[in-house]
C-alpha cells in the first residue's frame, strides 16, 4: 500500500501536468478559471496540498495567550486558514472556509480510503449512504446534546428539511405553520405538499425586528387551529439572522400536541446546542457553515420515538429497519465517507478552541460591525437589538442602494466577498477568522462607494 508521500507525489504530478496545459486547453478542461489564471491556480493548489500534508503547520495558540492577550490569540488562530493575503470573506452564512487541521484530516482520509485497504472487513467500503457509521454519528450526537439513535447524517439542510416534510403522513386539511423568514428549502417542501396532497400552509410574518419572545409566540398562537399538526421555524433565520425562541416555541407546540421542526442550519458552530434541552421533535443543522466542516454534510435529529412517524424519502436496502431509528434515513446511496472524517475533525477543532469562546468572539465582532454599518446614512437595521435575538449574522438594508452591483464591484476591485438577502440588504457574517480591521476596511469601502454613487 502506498504511503502518504507516495500518494501525494502521484497527486501533485497529475496536478502539475494539468497546470502546465496551454491556457486554452485548461479552459476546456476546467471551464471555471480565466485562461491567464490557470497555471498559477494549479500550482498554488498543489503547493497547498503538499504544505498541509507534509509541511510544518502553524501551531494552535495557547489558552495562556488568550488569557494574556485575546486579540493576539485570534491573530495566531487566523493562520489556520488558507485565505490569500488581502482577501476578505464575509459570507460564512452560505458556507465556511475549512481550516488547516480539518483540511488535513479530510485529505488524508481521501488518500487512505482510495487505496481500498483501510478496513480489515472486505465487506466494508468508504461509502457513506449505506450503513450506520456510528463512529461518526456518536461525536455529532455528543456535540449537539442528543443520543446516537436520534442522529442521522445527511448531506445538507435541504435534504433534512425534505426528509421530515415528505416523511410525515399528513392528510388533506392538516395544517403547517412557518414564518416568512424561512429559507426556500424550508418552505418549498411544504408548499409542494400543499399542492400535491392538500395540506394547508400558514405563513406568519415576523416583526423586523421583534420586541420580545412572547411577541413571536403570540403570532404562532394566533395562527393555530384545531387542524395544526406541524410548526416549523428557523433557530437563526437566513434572511435577517434573527435568533428565534426555539425552546419556548417547542414547549408551546408540545402543550398543543403539535410536532415541532427547527431549521438550525446556521446554529452548529455558532451557538452551543443541546437538542434535548430545546425539546424539539426534529432538528436539522449544517456543519459546513459555522462549524467549518467540508461541504456536503447535515446533522438531522429525530427525537427518540419519532422516527417511526417518518416515511423514507429515498428508499434502498434498510429503509424499513425501524430498529435502527434515525439511521434508517441514512440509507440513500453512495457518498464519500471522507466528508464524515472532516466532520469529526471539525468537532475536535471546535472543542480545542472552545465553543463558548467562539460564541463570544462571534458576538463581539457582530456588535462591532453592526455599530459601524448602522451608522452609515440611510441604514435600516433588520437585525434585532439585544443578545437574545442576535448572534453572528448582521442584516442591514440601505433602501434604494444597488447592493448586488456593489457586491460584484467590491469583489473584483478589492477582493472582498459579501452577499445579501434582498437587492438592497447586506447579510454580513462575522466569524473567528475576522478582526476589527477587516470589518473597518469593508465598512470604509462601502461608505466611500455610497458617497460616489449617491
Q: What is the pLDDT confidence band of residue 56, given thresholds at 50, 70 and 90?
A: confident
Q: How far apart are CA 13 and CA 113, in angstroms?
A: 20
Top pLDDT among 11 and 227 is at 227
CATH of 355-452, one of 3.90.1150.10, 3.40.50.2020, 2.30.30.100, 3.40.50.10470: 3.90.1150.10
Top pLDDT among 13 and 151 is at 151
CB 395 within 8 Å of CB 384:
no
Q: What percentage of the chain has pLDDT greater than the value 90? A: 75
In CATH terms, are 127-347 and 355-452 the same topology? no
Cβ neighbours, 10 Å, residue 224? 17
Kindly report the average pLDDT of the chain as a whole number.
90
Which pLDDT tens digit goes with each residue over 220-230?
A: 999 999 999 99
pLDDT of residue 23: 37
Please compute the mean of the pLDDT values over residues 378-399 and round it to a whole number: 90
Please compute the mean of the pLDDT values over residues 147-164 and round it to a whole number: 96
Which pLDDT tens digit goes with each residue over 204-251?
A: 999 988 999 999 999 999 999 999 999 999 999 999 999 999 999 999
pLDDT of residue 52: 85
pLDDT of residue 21: 38
pLDDT of residue 454: 77
Please compute the mean of the pLDDT values over residues 52-79 and round it to a whole number: 95
Phi and psi dihedrals of 7, rounded to 5? -65, -40
In the chain, where the domains are located: 1-56, 127-347, 355-452
pTM of the model: 0.89
Fold type of domain 127-347: 3.40.640
The residues pairing with 268 across neighbouring beta strands, listed in sequence order, are 271
| Residue keyed to cell 424539539 | 280
Kindly tell me if the per-residue pLDDT of 29 is higher than 50. Answer: no
Q: How far apart are CA 284 and CA 140, in angstroms?
A: 12
pLDDT of residue 5: 59
Which pLDDT tens digit goes with each residue over 259-269?
A: 999 999 999 99
Per-residue HEC secondary structure of the chain comes to CCCHHHHHHHHHHHHHHHHCCCHHHHHHHHCCCCHHHHHHHHHHHHHHHHHHHHCCCCCCCCHHHHHHCHHHHHHHHHHHCCCCCCCEECCCCCCCCCCHHHHHHHHHHHHHHCCCCCCCCCCCCCEECCCCCHHHHHHHHHHHCCCHHHEEEECCHHHHHHHHHHHECCCCCCEEEEECCCCHHHHHHHHHHHHHHCCEEEEECCCCCCCCHHHHHHHHHHHCCCCEEEEEEECECCCCCCECCHHHHHHHHHHCCCEEEEECCCCECCECCCHHHHCCCEEEECCCCCCCCCCCCEEEEECCCCHHHECCCCCCCCCCCHHHHHHHHHCCCCEECHHHHHHHHHHHHHHHHCHHHHHHHHHHHHHHHHHHHHCCCCCEECCCCCHHHCCCEEEEECCCCCHHHHHHHHHHHHCEECCEEECCEEEEECCCCCCHHHHHHHHHHHHHHHHHCC
pLDDT of residue 27: 33
Which pLDDT tens digit goes with each residue over 158-211?
A: 999 999 999 999 999 999 999 999 999 999 999 999 999 999 999 999 998 899
pLDDT of residue 4: 59
Q: Are strands 335-336 and 127-128 parallel, antiparallel or unpaired?
A: antiparallel
pLDDT of residue 1: 58
Reading the block at residue 72, the C-alpha cell is: 493576539
Cα dihedral: 369, 371, 377, 382 (round 10): 80
Which pLDDT tens digit goes with each residue over 388-398?
A: 899 999 999 99
Which pLDDT tens digit goes with each residue over 328-373?
A: 999 988 889 999 999 999 999 999 999 999 999 999 999 999 999 9
Kindly tell me if the per-residue pLDDT of 127 is higher than 70. Answer: yes
Per DSSP, helices labelled H in 145-255 are 157-167, 184-197, 213-223, 246-255
Amino acid at each position: 500500500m502506498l504511503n502518504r508521500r507516495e500518494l501525494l507525489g502521484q497527486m501533485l504530478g497529475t496536478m502539475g501536468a494539468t497546470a502546465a496545459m496551454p491556457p486554452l486547453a485548461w479552459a476546456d478542461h476546467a471551464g471555471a478559471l480565466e485562461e491567464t489564471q490557470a497555471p498559477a491556480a494549479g500550482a498554488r493548489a498543489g503547493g497547498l496540498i503538499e504544505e498541509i500534508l507534509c509541511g510544518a503547520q502553524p501551531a494552535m495558540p495557547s489558552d495562556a495567550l488568550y488569557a494574556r492577550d485575546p486579540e493576539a490569540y485570534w491573530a495566531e488562530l487566523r493562520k489556520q486558514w488558507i485565505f490569500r493575503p488581502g482577501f476578505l470573506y464575509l459570507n460564512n452564512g452560505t458556507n465556511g472556509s475549512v481550516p488547516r487541521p480539518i483540511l488535513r484530516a479530510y485529505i488524508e482520509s481521501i488518500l487512505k480510503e482510495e487505496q481500498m485497504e483501510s478496513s480489515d472487513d472486505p465487506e466494508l467500503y468508504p461509502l457513506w449512504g449505506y450503513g450506520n457509521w456510528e463512529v461518526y454519528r456518536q461525536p455529532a450526537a455528543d456535540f449537539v446534546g442528543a443520543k446516537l439513535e436520534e442522529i442521522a447524517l445527511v448531506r445538507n439542510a435541504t435534504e433534512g428539511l425534505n426528509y421530515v416534510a415528505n416523511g410525515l403522513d399528513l392528510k388533506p386539511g392538516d395544517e403547517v405553520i412557518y414564518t416568512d423568514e424561512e429559507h426556500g428549502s424550508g418552505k418549498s417542501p411544504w408548499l409542494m405538499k400543499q399542492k400535491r396532497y392538500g395540506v394547508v400552509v400558514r405563513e406568519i410574518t415576523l416583526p423586523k425586528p421583534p420586541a420580545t419572545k412572547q411577541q413571536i409566540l403570540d403570532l404562532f398562537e394566533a395562527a393555530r387551529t384545531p387542524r395544526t399538526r406541524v410548526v416549523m421555524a428557523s433557530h437563526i433565520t437566513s434572511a435577517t439572522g434573527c435568533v428565534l425562541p426555539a425552546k419556548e416555541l417547542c414547549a408551546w407546540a408540545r402543550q398543543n400536541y403539535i410536532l415541532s421542526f427547527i431549521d438550525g442550519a446556521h446554529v452548529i458552530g455558532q451557538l452551543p446546542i443541546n437538542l434535548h434541552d430545546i425539546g424539539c421533535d426534529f432538528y436539522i443543522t449544517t456543519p459546513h457553515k459555522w462549524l467549518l466542516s467540508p461541504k456536503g454534510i447535515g446533522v438531522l435529529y429525530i427525537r427518540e420515538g419519532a422516527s417511526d412517524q417518518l416515511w423514507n424519502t429515498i428508499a434502498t436496502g434498510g429503509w424499513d429497519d425501524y430498529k435502527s431509528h434515525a439511521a434508517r434515513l441514512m440509507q440513500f446511496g453512495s457518498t464519500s465517507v471522507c466528508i464524515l472524517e472532516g466532520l469529526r475533525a471539525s468537532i475536535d477543532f471546535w472543542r480545542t478552541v472552545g465553543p463558548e469562546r467562539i460564541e463570544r468572539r462571534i458576538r463581539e465582532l457582530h456588535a462591532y460591525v453592526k455599530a459601524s454599518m448602522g451608522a452609515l446614512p440611510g441604514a435600516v437595521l433588520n437585525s434585532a437589538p439585544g443578545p437574545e435575538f442576535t448572534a453572528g449574522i448582521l442584516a442591514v438594508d440601505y433602501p434604494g442602494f444597488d447592493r448586488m452591483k456593489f457586491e460584484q464591484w467590491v469583489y473584483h476591485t478589492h477582493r472582498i466577498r459579501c452577499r445579501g438577502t434582498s437587492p438592497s440588504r447586506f447579510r454580513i457574517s462575522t466569524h473567528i477568522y475576522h478582526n476589527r480591521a477587516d470589518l473597518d476596511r469593508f465598512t470604509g469601502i462601502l461608505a466611500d462607494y455610497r458617497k460616489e454613487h449617491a
